[in-house]
Amino acid sequence: MRALVYHGPGEKAWEEVAKPTLQADTDAIVRVDAVTICGTDLHILKGDVPAVTDGRILGHEAVGTVEEVGAGVKTVKAGDRVLVSCITACGACRFCREGRYGQCLGGGGWILGHKINGTQAEYVRVPFADTSTYQAPAGVADEELLMLADILPTGYEVGVLNGKIRPGDVVAVVGSGPIGLAAIIGARLFSPSHIVAIDMADSRLEAAKQFGADVVVNNSREDPLAAVRSLTDGLGADVAIEAVGIPATFELSAALVRPGGRVANIGVHGEPVTLHLEELWIRDVTITTGLVDTYSTPTLLRLIASHHVAAGRFVTHHFGLDQFMEAYDVFARAADTGALKVVLTRS
């Protein structure tokens, strides 16, 4: 089969590799029908995730058809259409029993495209298939379902729920890429008074308005602190969500919150960030971080199936499965191309 293979910082190739086989009786082999590229994949290509080594097949999001299952798999069978989650869960360890699947101690967590071969391929081996795949609801298109592999649960859990958004809150979302937009969608479910989207690309800010932002600020030419304080009698946001993963956006998020406010960091950081405790300690600010656990996936599946969340609007570009190099180029130049999520499908 062919797959997108990482060969060190800045190097990748769509090349011939061995098709995966069952390695444990809890495995499934899934034919990849639809797959996407994540901002985390771009971080990997920058060298920000050293655990990813030369020869690794990238990708941790897919919708596909089960081709084969191990003898211990009970909930899916050959021919089933499934969502492959970005997080793999053994289902039995301490953290899995607490619903913190991202911290799995039994061989799971974020392993696809990280510690084992991932989904940007014609086929993928999914460990712990019973607890790491979800049956596709009838009437939900592959590309809609694909948004539940990572970005929607990440924005919802690590941004909205960690940030404890409440009705009437002013929420500042720093970064209007796919994860920031997912946080905006999730925040809207909790009836904030204002959602302020902050980004340096007008195209992404326009998307933020379509996804539910009430106010947009281009921080290449406007002062986001002044914009947020004008909405809050000078206090600052109740919740700031960091959705980029660079030092400047984290420091901006911390500066945006009011005394007693919450900063929810979603971004994947590849270098140290300055934490201004000399300013924050006296202001009762809470800062949370997190890897998505995907415990919210069943809830989000119901919201998509009932059309309360329109996941398909994330998708801006379509490619064939053999067009990964072009798709990566478009996704990496999102400020120029207007790309939010690119979807590659089997022809």
pLDDT-derived band at 212, boundaries 50, 70, 90: very high
Candidate CATH numbers 1.10.357.10, 3.20.20.150, 3.20.20.70, 3.40.50.720; the one for domain 153-288: 3.40.50.720
* pLDDT mean over 32-42: 96
Asked whether residue 286 carries a pLDDT value surpassing 90, the answer given is: yes
Would you state the structure tokens that stand for residue 292, as one six-digit string? Answer: 């998505």
**pLDDT for position 229:** 97
Q: Report the CATH superfamily, name and number, of domain 2-150+293-345.
A: Medium-chain alcohol dehydrogenases, catalytic domain (3.90.180.10)
Distance CA 1, CA 148 (A): 26
Contact (Cβ atoms closer than 8 angstroms) between residue 220 and residue 200? yes
Where do the domains of the chain lie? 2-150+293-345, 153-288
Asked whether residue 260 carries a pLDDT value surpassing 90, the answer given is: yes
- Condensed to tens digits (0 to 9), the pLDDT of residues 315-324 reads 999 999 999 9
Tell me which residue of 161, 88, 145 sits closest to 343, measured CA to CA.
145
Mean pLDDT of the chain: 97
> Residue 149 burial by CB count (10 A; 0-12/13-18/19+): exposed, middle or buried?
buried
- Condensed to tens digits (0 to 9), the pLDDT of residues 184-207 reads 999 999 999 999 999 999 999 999
Residue 101 is classified by DSSP as G
pLDDT-derived band at 347, boundaries 50, 70, 90: confident
Contact (Cβ atoms closer than 8 angstroms) between residue 84 and residue 124? yes
> Residue 328 burial by CB count (10 A; 0-12/13-18/19+): exposed, middle or buried?
buried
Q: Spell out the SS3 assignment of 123-175.
A: EEEECCHHHHEEECCCCCCHHHHHCCCCHHHHHHHHHHHCCCCCCCCEEEEEC
Asked whether residue 298 carries a pLDDT value surpassing 90, the answer given is: yes
**pLDDT for position 326:** 98
Domains 2-150+293-345 and 153-288 share a fold: no
**pLDDT for position 13:** 97
Distance CA 238, CA 252 (A): 14
Helix H or strand E encompassing 203: helix 202-211
Could you tell me the sign of the dihedral formed by the alpha carbons of 252, 257, 258, 263, in that order? Answer: negative
**pLDDT for position 270:** 84
Contact (Cβ atoms closer than 8 angstroms) between residue 61 and residue 25? no
Beta-carbon neighbour count of residue 21 at 10 Å?
10
**pLDDT for position 93:** 98
Q: Which amino acid is at 111?
A: I
Place of tokens 């609007």: 313
Distance CA 340, CA 152 (A): 13
Beta-carbon neighbour count of residue 308 at 10 Å?
11
Distance CA 152, CA 154 (A): 5
